[in-house]
Amino acid sequence: MLSVTGLRTGYDKIEVLHGIDLQVSAGKIVSLIGSNGAGKSSFLMALSGLLRAWNGQVEFNGQAIHGLAPDAIVRAGLVQVPEGRRIFAHLTVEENLDLGAYTRHDPPGIRQDKEEMFKLFPILKQRLRGLAGNLSGGEQQMLAMARALMARPKLLCLDEPSLGLAPMLVEKIFEIILGIKARGLTILLVEQNAFKALEIADWAYVLENGKIELQGTGLQLLLEPKVKSAYLGV
Amino acid sequence: MGSWDVFIQQLLNGLTIGMIYALIALGYTIVYGVLQLINFAHGEIFMAGAYIGLAAAAAWILVSGTALTGGIALAGVLLFAMLGAAALGSLTERFAYRPLRQAPRLAPLITAIGVSFVLQNVVMLLCGPVDKRYPEILAARQYSFGLVSMTHYQIIILIVSVTLMLGLHLFIKKTRTGKAMRAMADDTQAASLMGIPVDRTVNLAFVMGSAMAGAGGVLFGLYYHTVNFHDGYLAGLKAFTAAVLGGIGNIPGAMLGGLLLGVAEGLGAGYLSSEWKNVFAFLVLIAVLLFRPQGILGTRVVKKV
Protein backbone atom coordinates (compact mmCIF):
# COMPACT_ATOMS: atom_id res chain seq x y z
CA MET A 1 0.00 0.00 0.00
CA LEU A 2 2.77 2.40 0.99
CA SER A 3 6.21 2.06 -0.44
CA VAL A 4 9.00 4.47 0.49
CA THR A 5 12.35 4.18 -1.23
CA GLY A 6 15.50 6.18 -0.55
CA LEU A 7 13.66 9.04 1.13
CA ARG A 8 15.93 11.91 2.12
CA THR A 9 14.76 15.10 3.75
CA GLY A 10 15.67 17.62 6.42
CA TYR A 11 15.41 21.19 7.63
CA ASP A 12 17.19 24.05 5.87
CA LYS A 13 20.45 22.42 4.83
CA ILE A 14 20.63 19.79 7.54
CA GLU A 15 19.65 16.34 6.39
CA VAL A 16 17.63 14.41 8.97
CA LEU A 17 16.59 11.31 7.06
CA HIS A 18 19.36 9.67 5.07
CA GLY A 19 17.53 7.44 2.64
CA ILE A 20 14.63 5.57 4.22
CA ASP A 21 13.19 2.40 2.71
CA LEU A 22 9.94 1.28 4.26
CA GLN A 23 6.89 -0.73 3.19
CA VAL A 24 3.40 -0.93 4.63
CA SER A 25 1.07 -3.56 3.29
CA ALA A 26 -2.69 -3.31 3.39
CA GLY A 27 -4.49 -4.31 6.56
CA LYS A 28 -1.36 -4.41 8.71
CA ILE A 29 0.02 -2.45 11.62
CA VAL A 30 3.55 -1.33 10.92
CA SER A 31 5.45 0.26 13.80
CA LEU A 32 8.37 2.60 13.53
CA ILE A 33 10.32 2.88 16.75
CA GLY A 34 13.35 4.89 17.66
CA SER A 35 14.65 7.30 20.25
CA ASN A 36 14.00 11.02 20.48
CA GLY A 37 15.47 12.86 17.52
CA ALA A 38 15.91 9.76 15.38
CA GLY A 39 13.71 11.38 12.72
CA LYS A 40 10.41 9.58 13.32
CA SER A 41 8.22 12.67 13.22
CA SER A 42 10.17 14.12 10.31
CA PHE A 43 9.44 10.92 8.43
CA LEU A 44 5.68 11.32 8.96
CA MET A 45 5.90 15.03 8.09
CA ALA A 46 7.54 14.06 4.82
CA LEU A 47 4.83 11.47 4.10
CA SER A 48 2.14 14.10 4.71
CA GLY A 49 3.84 16.63 2.46
CA LEU A 50 4.64 19.12 5.21
CA LEU A 51 8.32 18.44 4.72
CA ARG A 52 9.49 18.32 1.12
CA ALA A 53 11.29 15.15 0.07
CA TRP A 54 14.77 16.04 -1.15
CA ASN A 55 15.28 12.72 -2.80
CA GLY A 56 13.64 9.35 -3.11
CA GLN A 57 10.10 8.19 -3.71
CA VAL A 58 6.89 7.82 -1.78
CA GLU A 59 4.37 5.66 -3.55
CA PHE A 60 0.90 5.25 -2.13
CA ASN A 61 -1.53 2.83 -3.81
CA GLY A 62 0.51 3.05 -6.97
CA GLN A 63 0.51 6.86 -7.01
CA ALA A 64 3.67 8.92 -6.41
CA ILE A 65 2.69 11.30 -3.62
CA HIS A 66 6.00 12.97 -2.78
CA GLY A 67 5.73 16.51 -4.04
CA LEU A 68 1.97 16.64 -3.65
CA ALA A 69 0.42 19.32 -1.42
CA PRO A 70 -0.67 18.15 2.06
CA ASP A 71 -4.37 18.43 1.21
CA ALA A 72 -3.91 16.31 -1.94
CA ILE A 73 -2.21 13.62 0.15
CA VAL A 74 -5.14 13.59 2.57
CA ARG A 75 -7.51 13.23 -0.37
CA ALA A 76 -5.42 10.32 -1.63
CA GLY A 77 -6.21 8.58 1.68
CA LEU A 78 -3.08 9.03 3.79
CA VAL A 79 -4.06 10.80 7.01
CA GLN A 80 -1.88 11.60 9.99
CA VAL A 81 -2.67 12.07 13.66
CA PRO A 82 0.15 14.43 14.59
CA GLU A 83 2.27 14.27 17.70
CA GLY A 84 0.81 16.24 20.58
CA ARG A 85 -2.76 15.68 19.28
CA ARG A 86 -3.01 19.18 17.75
CA ILE A 87 -6.79 19.28 18.05
CA PHE A 88 -8.49 22.60 17.31
CA ALA A 89 -8.79 23.84 20.89
CA HIS A 90 -11.12 26.79 20.25
CA LEU A 91 -13.56 24.72 18.23
CA THR A 92 -16.14 22.35 19.61
CA VAL A 93 -15.62 18.61 19.60
CA GLU A 94 -18.20 18.28 16.86
CA GLU A 95 -16.55 20.95 14.71
CA ASN A 96 -13.27 19.08 15.08
CA LEU A 97 -14.95 15.95 13.75
CA ASP A 98 -16.53 17.91 10.89
CA LEU A 99 -13.12 19.26 9.93
CA GLY A 100 -11.74 15.75 9.85
CA ALA A 101 -14.24 15.14 7.08
CA TYR A 102 -13.22 18.34 5.28
CA THR A 103 -12.20 16.55 2.08
CA ARG A 104 -15.45 14.61 1.87
CA HIS A 105 -18.68 15.64 0.20
CA ASP A 106 -21.12 12.96 1.34
CA PRO A 107 -23.15 14.37 4.25
CA PRO A 108 -25.04 11.11 4.89
CA GLY A 109 -21.77 9.17 5.04
CA ILE A 110 -20.24 11.81 7.32
CA ARG A 111 -23.21 11.62 9.70
CA GLN A 112 -22.96 7.85 9.74
CA ASP A 113 -19.23 7.95 10.45
CA LYS A 114 -19.82 10.35 13.30
CA GLU A 115 -22.14 7.80 14.87
CA GLU A 116 -19.39 5.22 14.39
CA MET A 117 -16.95 7.49 16.21
CA PHE A 118 -19.36 7.81 19.13
CA LYS A 119 -19.39 4.02 19.41
CA LEU A 120 -15.61 3.87 19.29
CA PHE A 121 -15.14 6.88 21.59
CA PRO A 122 -18.30 7.30 23.72
CA ILE A 123 -16.77 10.18 25.68
CA LEU A 124 -16.84 12.34 22.53
CA LYS A 125 -20.58 12.13 22.31
CA GLN A 126 -20.96 13.49 25.83
CA ARG A 127 -18.61 16.38 25.09
CA LEU A 128 -19.90 17.11 21.59
CA ARG A 129 -20.78 20.78 22.12
CA GLY A 130 -17.91 21.57 24.45
CA LEU A 131 -14.67 23.20 23.38
CA ALA A 132 -12.05 20.64 22.42
CA GLY A 133 -9.46 22.56 24.45
CA ASN A 134 -11.31 21.66 27.63
CA LEU A 135 -10.90 17.91 27.10
CA SER A 136 -8.33 15.98 29.13
CA GLY A 137 -5.16 14.75 27.45
CA GLY A 138 -6.54 11.26 26.86
CA GLU A 139 -9.80 12.61 25.53
CA GLN A 140 -7.90 14.91 23.20
CA GLN A 141 -5.95 11.94 21.86
CA MET A 142 -9.22 10.13 21.19
CA LEU A 143 -10.61 13.21 19.47
CA ALA A 144 -7.47 13.52 17.34
CA MET A 145 -7.85 9.90 16.26
CA ALA A 146 -11.56 10.25 15.61
CA ARG A 147 -10.95 13.44 13.64
CA ALA A 148 -8.47 11.65 11.40
CA LEU A 149 -10.79 8.65 10.97
CA MET A 150 -13.54 11.01 9.81
CA ALA A 151 -11.47 11.53 6.65
CA ARG A 152 -11.99 7.81 5.88
CA PRO A 153 -8.27 7.20 5.46
CA LYS A 154 -6.86 4.16 3.77
CA LEU A 155 -3.66 4.50 5.77
CA LEU A 156 -3.72 6.05 9.23
CA CYS A 157 -0.41 7.37 10.51
CA LEU A 158 -0.22 7.80 14.27
CA ASP A 159 2.58 9.89 15.75
CA GLU A 160 3.23 9.05 19.42
CA PRO A 161 -0.41 8.43 20.38
CA SER A 162 0.51 7.32 23.90
CA LEU A 163 2.83 10.23 24.70
CA GLY A 164 2.11 11.81 28.06
CA LEU A 165 -0.83 9.59 28.92
CA ALA A 166 -1.42 7.69 32.17
CA PRO A 167 -0.62 3.93 31.90
CA MET A 168 -4.29 2.97 31.97
CA LEU A 169 -5.02 5.32 29.08
CA VAL A 170 -2.04 3.99 27.16
CA GLU A 171 -3.61 0.51 27.34
CA LYS A 172 -6.90 1.96 26.16
CA ILE A 173 -5.29 3.75 23.21
CA PHE A 174 -3.53 0.60 22.05
CA GLU A 175 -6.78 -1.34 22.37
CA ILE A 176 -8.43 1.23 20.16
CA ILE A 177 -5.62 0.97 17.61
CA LEU A 178 -6.22 -2.78 17.41
CA GLY A 179 -9.94 -2.08 17.07
CA ILE A 180 -9.26 0.25 14.16
CA LYS A 181 -7.13 -2.41 12.50
CA ALA A 182 -9.95 -4.91 12.94
CA ARG A 183 -12.10 -2.64 10.79
CA GLY A 184 -9.67 -3.24 7.95
CA LEU A 185 -7.62 -0.06 8.21
CA THR A 186 -3.89 -0.02 7.62
CA ILE A 187 -1.84 1.65 10.34
CA LEU A 188 1.61 3.15 10.48
CA LEU A 189 2.47 3.67 14.13
CA VAL A 190 5.34 5.83 15.31
CA GLU A 191 6.09 5.29 18.98
CA GLN A 192 8.56 5.80 21.77
CA ASN A 193 6.76 3.18 23.77
CA ALA A 194 8.67 0.47 21.93
CA PHE A 195 7.30 -2.46 23.90
CA LYS A 196 3.64 -1.72 23.20
CA ALA A 197 4.35 -0.71 19.62
CA LEU A 198 6.21 -3.95 18.86
CA GLU A 199 3.63 -6.03 20.67
CA ILE A 200 0.82 -5.02 18.31
CA ALA A 201 2.93 -4.66 15.14
CA ASP A 202 2.78 -7.06 12.22
CA TRP A 203 6.03 -5.60 11.00
CA ALA A 204 8.34 -3.07 12.57
CA TYR A 205 11.29 -0.84 11.77
CA VAL A 206 13.91 0.64 14.05
CA LEU A 207 15.00 4.14 13.08
CA GLU A 208 18.34 5.39 14.35
CA ASN A 209 19.98 8.67 13.37
CA GLY A 210 17.89 9.00 10.25
CA LYS A 211 18.51 5.45 9.01
CA ILE A 212 16.56 2.21 9.26
CA GLU A 213 18.82 -0.02 11.38
CA LEU A 214 16.63 -3.07 11.85
CA GLN A 215 13.38 -4.53 10.68
CA GLY A 216 11.34 -7.63 11.31
CA THR A 217 8.08 -8.82 12.77
CA GLY A 218 7.10 -7.26 16.07
CA LEU A 219 7.99 -10.47 17.88
CA GLN A 220 11.40 -10.79 16.23
CA LEU A 221 12.35 -7.30 17.29
CA LEU A 222 11.03 -7.82 20.80
CA LEU A 223 13.51 -10.69 21.14
CA GLU A 224 16.36 -8.93 19.36
CA PRO A 225 19.17 -8.21 21.87
CA LYS A 226 20.01 -4.79 20.39
CA VAL A 227 16.40 -3.67 20.62
CA LYS A 228 16.09 -5.10 24.10
CA SER A 229 19.01 -3.15 25.48
CA ALA A 230 18.41 0.11 23.61
CA TYR A 231 14.64 0.45 23.59
CA LEU A 232 13.11 -1.94 26.05
CA GLY A 233 15.52 -1.36 28.92
CA VAL A 234 16.02 -5.05 29.65
CA MET B 1 -32.51 69.60 23.89
CA GLY B 2 -32.13 67.98 27.28
CA SER B 3 -28.92 66.31 28.32
CA TRP B 4 -30.46 62.89 27.79
CA ASP B 5 -31.23 63.69 24.16
CA VAL B 6 -27.68 64.86 23.56
CA PHE B 7 -26.45 61.59 24.96
CA ILE B 8 -28.71 59.49 22.75
CA GLN B 9 -27.86 61.58 19.70
CA GLN B 10 -24.13 61.21 20.23
CA LEU B 11 -24.59 57.54 20.92
CA LEU B 12 -26.34 57.11 17.56
CA ASN B 13 -23.67 59.12 15.74
CA GLY B 14 -21.01 57.03 17.43
CA LEU B 15 -22.76 53.78 16.56
CA THR B 16 -22.95 54.80 12.92
CA ILE B 17 -19.24 55.40 12.52
CA GLY B 18 -18.61 52.44 14.82
CA MET B 19 -20.40 50.20 12.33
CA ILE B 20 -17.95 51.30 9.65
CA TYR B 21 -14.99 50.69 11.96
CA ALA B 22 -16.42 47.26 12.74
CA LEU B 23 -16.68 46.40 9.04
CA ILE B 24 -13.03 47.30 8.51
CA ALA B 25 -11.91 45.69 11.76
CA LEU B 26 -13.32 42.36 10.58
CA GLY B 27 -10.74 42.25 7.79
CA TYR B 28 -7.86 42.81 10.20
CA THR B 29 -9.10 40.12 12.50
CA ILE B 30 -9.91 37.44 9.89
CA VAL B 31 -6.52 37.81 8.23
CA TYR B 32 -4.74 37.86 11.58
CA GLY B 33 -6.66 34.72 12.49
CA VAL B 34 -5.44 32.64 9.57
CA LEU B 35 -1.99 34.17 9.10
CA GLN B 36 -0.99 36.00 12.31
CA LEU B 37 -0.31 38.95 10.04
CA ILE B 38 -1.45 42.52 10.69
CA ASN B 39 -2.31 43.56 7.17
CA PHE B 40 -1.45 47.25 7.40
CA ALA B 41 -2.61 47.74 3.82
CA HIS B 42 -6.17 46.94 4.86
CA GLY B 43 -7.07 50.61 5.48
CA GLU B 44 -6.08 51.28 1.88
CA ILE B 45 -8.36 48.48 0.65
CA PHE B 46 -11.15 50.28 2.48
CA MET B 47 -10.21 53.57 0.79
CA ALA B 48 -9.90 51.87 -2.60
CA GLY B 49 -13.36 50.37 -2.02
CA ALA B 50 -14.76 53.88 -1.58
CA TYR B 51 -13.13 54.95 -4.86
CA ILE B 52 -14.31 51.83 -6.71
CA GLY B 53 -17.85 52.63 -5.56
CA LEU B 54 -17.36 56.17 -6.77
CA ALA B 55 -16.10 54.94 -10.14
CA ALA B 56 -19.08 52.60 -10.46
CA ALA B 57 -21.43 55.49 -9.78
CA ALA B 58 -19.64 57.73 -12.27
CA ALA B 59 -19.64 54.99 -14.91
CA TRP B 60 -23.35 54.50 -14.45
CA ILE B 61 -24.06 58.19 -14.97
CA LEU B 62 -21.82 58.23 -18.03
CA VAL B 63 -23.49 55.22 -19.63
CA SER B 64 -27.12 55.85 -18.78
CA GLY B 65 -27.06 59.63 -18.65
CA THR B 66 -29.37 59.56 -15.65
CA ALA B 67 -28.54 60.33 -12.07
CA LEU B 68 -27.95 57.40 -9.81
CA THR B 69 -30.61 57.19 -7.15
CA GLY B 70 -32.59 54.67 -5.19
CA GLY B 71 -32.05 51.52 -3.24
CA ILE B 72 -31.12 49.35 -6.21
CA ALA B 73 -28.49 51.85 -7.32
CA LEU B 74 -27.02 51.81 -3.83
CA ALA B 75 -26.99 48.02 -3.78
CA GLY B 76 -25.25 48.03 -7.17
CA VAL B 77 -22.57 50.48 -6.03
CA LEU B 78 -22.02 48.49 -2.84
CA LEU B 79 -21.71 45.26 -4.78
CA PHE B 80 -19.20 46.75 -7.20
CA ALA B 81 -17.11 48.19 -4.39
CA MET B 82 -17.17 44.88 -2.52
CA LEU B 83 -16.15 42.89 -5.59
CA GLY B 84 -13.44 45.37 -6.52
CA ALA B 85 -12.02 45.50 -3.02
CA ALA B 86 -12.17 41.71 -2.78
CA ALA B 87 -10.21 41.38 -6.02
CA LEU B 88 -7.65 43.88 -4.75
CA GLY B 89 -7.32 42.03 -1.46
CA SER B 90 -6.92 38.73 -3.26
CA LEU B 91 -4.21 40.16 -5.54
CA THR B 92 -2.23 41.68 -2.67
CA GLU B 93 -2.32 38.35 -0.84
CA ARG B 94 -1.27 36.41 -3.91
CA PHE B 95 1.57 38.65 -5.03
CA ALA B 96 2.72 40.56 -1.95
CA TYR B 97 2.26 38.18 0.97
CA ARG B 98 2.21 34.61 -0.35
CA PRO B 99 5.80 34.67 -1.61
CA LEU B 100 6.82 35.61 1.94
CA ARG B 101 4.89 32.84 3.70
CA GLN B 102 8.11 31.16 4.89
CA ALA B 103 9.96 34.41 5.59
CA PRO B 104 10.46 35.86 9.10
CA ARG B 105 7.33 37.57 10.33
CA LEU B 106 8.73 41.07 10.05
CA ALA B 107 9.05 40.74 6.26
CA PRO B 108 5.32 40.51 5.43
CA LEU B 109 4.60 43.23 7.99
CA ILE B 110 6.95 45.66 6.25
CA THR B 111 5.59 44.54 2.89
CA ALA B 112 2.11 45.42 4.14
CA ILE B 113 3.26 48.95 4.86
CA GLY B 114 4.76 49.05 1.37
CA VAL B 115 1.52 47.83 -0.22
CA SER B 116 -0.26 50.52 1.71
CA PHE B 117 1.93 53.26 0.19
CA VAL B 118 1.55 51.77 -3.28
CA LEU B 119 -2.24 51.71 -3.08
CA GLN B 120 -2.40 55.26 -1.72
CA ASN B 121 -0.22 56.57 -4.47
CA VAL B 122 -1.94 54.65 -7.25
CA VAL B 123 -5.27 56.11 -6.18
CA MET B 124 -3.74 59.57 -5.90
CA LEU B 125 -2.30 59.33 -9.40
CA LEU B 126 -5.54 58.01 -10.89
CA CYS B 127 -7.99 60.25 -9.06
CA GLY B 128 -5.98 63.22 -7.90
CA PRO B 129 -4.93 64.43 -4.48
CA VAL B 130 -8.02 66.51 -3.72
CA ASP B 131 -11.24 65.46 -2.00
CA LYS B 132 -13.69 63.78 -4.34
CA ARG B 133 -17.36 64.48 -3.91
CA TYR B 134 -19.41 61.34 -3.26
CA PRO B 135 -22.71 61.16 -5.20
CA GLU B 136 -25.94 61.54 -3.26
CA ILE B 137 -27.38 58.18 -4.13
CA LEU B 138 -30.25 58.57 -1.70
CA ALA B 139 -32.24 61.74 -1.13
CA ALA B 140 -31.16 63.60 1.99
CA ARG B 141 -33.85 62.87 4.50
CA GLN B 142 -34.04 63.23 8.21
CA TYR B 143 -36.05 61.03 10.53
CA SER B 144 -36.98 62.33 13.94
CA PHE B 145 -37.68 60.15 16.90
CA GLY B 146 -38.75 62.52 19.61
CA LEU B 147 -35.88 64.94 19.96
CA VAL B 148 -33.33 62.59 18.45
CA SER B 149 -32.87 62.47 14.70
CA MET B 150 -31.16 60.19 12.23
CA THR B 151 -30.29 60.81 8.62
CA HIS B 152 -31.22 58.50 5.82
CA TYR B 153 -27.61 57.42 5.55
CA GLN B 154 -27.24 56.62 9.20
CA ILE B 155 -30.14 54.20 8.93
CA ILE B 156 -28.72 52.69 5.74
CA ILE B 157 -25.32 52.28 7.38
CA LEU B 158 -26.87 50.48 10.33
CA ILE B 159 -28.91 48.16 8.13
CA VAL B 160 -26.15 47.34 5.64
CA SER B 161 -23.50 46.83 8.32
CA VAL B 162 -25.63 44.65 10.53
CA THR B 163 -26.65 42.53 7.52
CA LEU B 164 -23.07 42.07 6.33
CA MET B 165 -21.72 41.32 9.78
CA LEU B 166 -24.48 38.84 10.51
CA GLY B 167 -23.83 37.17 7.17
CA LEU B 168 -20.11 36.94 7.82
CA HIS B 169 -20.64 35.68 11.34
CA LEU B 170 -22.93 32.90 10.12
CA PHE B 171 -20.51 32.02 7.34
CA ILE B 172 -17.60 31.67 9.75
CA LYS B 173 -19.69 29.84 12.32
CA LYS B 174 -21.63 27.42 10.16
CA THR B 175 -20.03 26.68 6.81
CA ARG B 176 -17.34 24.18 6.05
CA THR B 177 -15.00 26.92 4.81
CA GLY B 178 -15.72 29.06 7.85
CA LYS B 179 -14.82 26.19 10.14
CA ALA B 180 -11.66 25.64 8.11
CA MET B 181 -10.68 29.27 8.72
CA ARG B 182 -11.18 28.92 12.45
CA ALA B 183 -9.22 25.68 12.41
CA MET B 184 -6.36 27.43 10.67
CA ALA B 185 -6.47 30.17 13.27
CA ASP B 186 -5.94 27.47 15.90
CA ASP B 187 -3.25 25.41 14.17
CA THR B 188 -2.40 25.88 10.51
CA GLN B 189 -0.29 22.76 10.21
CA ALA B 190 -2.91 20.53 11.81
CA ALA B 191 -5.48 22.10 9.48
CA SER B 192 -3.45 21.13 6.44
CA LEU B 193 -3.13 17.59 7.87
CA MET B 194 -6.94 17.46 7.73
CA GLY B 195 -6.84 18.27 4.02
CA ILE B 196 -7.65 21.97 4.30
CA PRO B 197 -5.99 23.80 1.38
CA VAL B 198 -4.04 26.47 3.23
CA ASP B 199 -3.28 28.87 0.37
CA ARG B 200 -6.84 28.93 -0.87
CA THR B 201 -8.25 29.45 2.60
CA VAL B 202 -5.84 32.31 3.34
CA ASN B 203 -6.79 33.95 0.08
CA LEU B 204 -10.45 33.60 0.89
CA ALA B 205 -9.86 35.31 4.23
CA PHE B 206 -8.40 38.29 2.37
CA VAL B 207 -11.28 38.26 -0.11
CA MET B 208 -13.91 38.30 2.62
CA GLY B 209 -12.19 40.88 4.79
CA SER B 210 -11.61 43.12 1.79
CA ALA B 211 -15.22 42.87 0.65
CA MET B 212 -16.33 44.06 4.09
CA ALA B 213 -13.86 46.94 3.90
CA GLY B 214 -15.08 47.81 0.40
CA ALA B 215 -18.64 48.08 1.64
CA GLY B 216 -17.36 50.15 4.55
CA GLY B 217 -15.65 52.48 2.08
CA VAL B 218 -18.88 53.22 0.22
CA LEU B 219 -20.77 53.79 3.47
CA PHE B 220 -17.98 56.09 4.66
CA GLY B 221 -18.14 58.09 1.42
CA LEU B 222 -21.90 58.42 1.63
CA TYR B 223 -21.75 59.50 5.26
CA TYR B 224 -19.05 62.14 4.91
CA HIS B 225 -19.92 63.10 1.29
CA THR B 226 -16.28 63.17 0.21
CA VAL B 227 -13.37 60.75 -0.07
CA ASN B 228 -9.66 61.33 -0.24
CA PHE B 229 -6.77 59.02 -1.07
CA HIS B 230 -5.42 59.21 2.48
CA ASP B 231 -8.75 58.46 4.19
CA GLY B 232 -7.68 54.83 4.57
CA TYR B 233 -4.83 55.66 6.88
CA LEU B 234 -6.74 57.02 9.86
CA ALA B 235 -9.81 54.82 9.37
CA GLY B 236 -7.56 51.80 9.03
CA LEU B 237 -5.63 52.63 12.16
CA LYS B 238 -8.84 53.12 14.11
CA ALA B 239 -10.30 49.88 12.83
CA PHE B 240 -7.08 48.14 13.82
CA THR B 241 -7.55 49.66 17.28
CA ALA B 242 -11.09 48.31 17.27
CA ALA B 243 -9.86 44.84 16.36
CA VAL B 244 -7.29 44.91 19.16
CA LEU B 245 -9.89 46.27 21.58
CA GLY B 246 -12.24 43.38 20.81
CA GLY B 247 -9.43 40.83 20.80
CA ILE B 248 -7.46 40.41 17.57
CA GLY B 249 -8.43 37.20 15.80
CA ASN B 250 -11.85 37.19 17.43
CA ILE B 251 -14.67 37.96 15.00
CA PRO B 252 -17.45 39.03 17.38
CA GLY B 253 -14.69 40.95 19.15
CA ALA B 254 -13.96 43.00 16.03
CA MET B 255 -17.61 43.98 15.74
CA LEU B 256 -17.86 44.84 19.42
CA GLY B 257 -14.55 46.73 19.33
CA GLY B 258 -15.68 48.79 16.34
CA LEU B 259 -18.95 49.76 17.97
CA LEU B 260 -17.33 50.61 21.31
CA LEU B 261 -14.67 52.69 19.62
CA GLY B 262 -17.27 54.55 17.55
CA VAL B 263 -19.36 55.23 20.64
CA ALA B 264 -16.32 56.38 22.64
CA GLU B 265 -15.47 58.72 19.79
CA GLY B 266 -19.04 59.98 19.44
CA LEU B 267 -19.44 60.65 23.15
CA GLY B 268 -15.95 62.14 23.39
CA ALA B 269 -16.68 64.44 20.47
CA GLY B 270 -20.06 65.42 21.93
CA TYR B 271 -19.05 66.05 25.51
CA LEU B 272 -15.39 66.96 25.44
CA SER B 273 -14.22 68.28 22.13
CA SER B 274 -14.68 67.16 18.54
CA GLU B 275 -11.19 68.46 17.78
CA TRP B 276 -9.81 65.72 19.99
CA LYS B 277 -11.96 63.03 18.41
CA ASN B 278 -9.04 61.08 16.97
CA VAL B 279 -7.14 61.20 20.21
CA PHE B 280 -9.80 59.15 22.01
CA ALA B 281 -9.34 56.24 19.66
CA PHE B 282 -5.64 56.05 20.38
CA LEU B 283 -6.09 56.55 24.10
CA VAL B 284 -8.31 53.49 23.89
CA LEU B 285 -5.59 51.57 22.04
CA ILE B 286 -2.96 52.47 24.63
CA ALA B 287 -5.27 51.60 27.50
CA VAL B 288 -6.13 48.22 25.98
CA LEU B 289 -2.51 47.36 25.33
CA LEU B 290 -1.62 48.31 28.89
CA PHE B 291 -4.45 46.70 30.80
CA ARG B 292 -5.95 43.97 28.65
CA PRO B 293 -3.66 43.15 25.74
CA GLN B 294 -5.72 40.14 24.71
CA GLY B 295 -8.74 42.44 24.16
CA ILE B 296 -12.26 42.18 25.53
CA LEU B 297 -13.27 38.85 24.01
CA GLY B 298 -9.79 37.51 23.38
CA THR B 299 -9.52 34.75 25.93
CA ARG B 300 -7.24 31.79 25.71
CA VAL B 301 -8.19 28.18 26.15
CA VAL B 302 -5.39 26.52 28.05
CA LYS B 303 -3.76 23.81 25.96
CA LYS B 304 -3.48 20.58 27.85
CA VAL B 305 -0.64 18.20 27.25
Contacts of A99 in chain B (CB under 8 A): 179-180, 183, 191, 194, 196
Q: Is A15 on the interface with B (CB under 8 A)?
A: no
Burial of B23 (0-12, 13-18, 19+ CB in 10 A): buried
Condensed to tens digits (0 to 9), the pLDDT of residues B130-177 reads: 999 998 888 778 888 877 888 889 999 999 999 999 999 999 999 999
Distances (CA, A) of A220 to A22, A151, A204, A229: 17, 33, 9, 14
Give the pLDDT of residue A69: 95
Q: Which residue of B has its CA nearest to A100?
A: B194
Distance of CA B126 to the CA centre of its chain: 23
Q: Where are the domains of chain B?
A: 3-291
Distant-in-sequence, close-in-space partners of A91: CB < 8 Å, separation ≥ 6? A99, A131, A132, B179, B182, B183, B186
Query: What is the per-residue pLDDT across B58-111, written as a single tens digit (0 to 9) for each?
Result: 888 888 777 777 888 899 999 999 999 999 999 999 999 999 998 998 999 999
The Cα of B185 is separated from the nearest Cα of chain A by a number of Å equal to 9
Return the pLDDT at B12. Answer: 92
Q: What pLDDT, in 10s, does the model give residues B267-298? A: 888 888 888 888 888 888 899 889 888 888 87
Which positions of chain A have pLDDT values less than 70?
Answer: 234
Contact (CB, 8 A) for B227 and B221: yes
A151 and chain B in contact, CB less than 8 A: yes
Class of the CATH-defined domain B3-291: mainly alpha
What's this model's pTM, rounded to 2 decimal places?
0.91
* Partner residue opposite B193 with nearest CB, options A70, A89, A164: A70
Chain B residues with CB under 8 Å of A95 CB are 179, 182-183
Mutate to test the interface with A, among B194, B198, B304 (most CBs of A within 10 A): B194
Question: What is the predicted pLDDT for the residue at B301?
Answer: 44
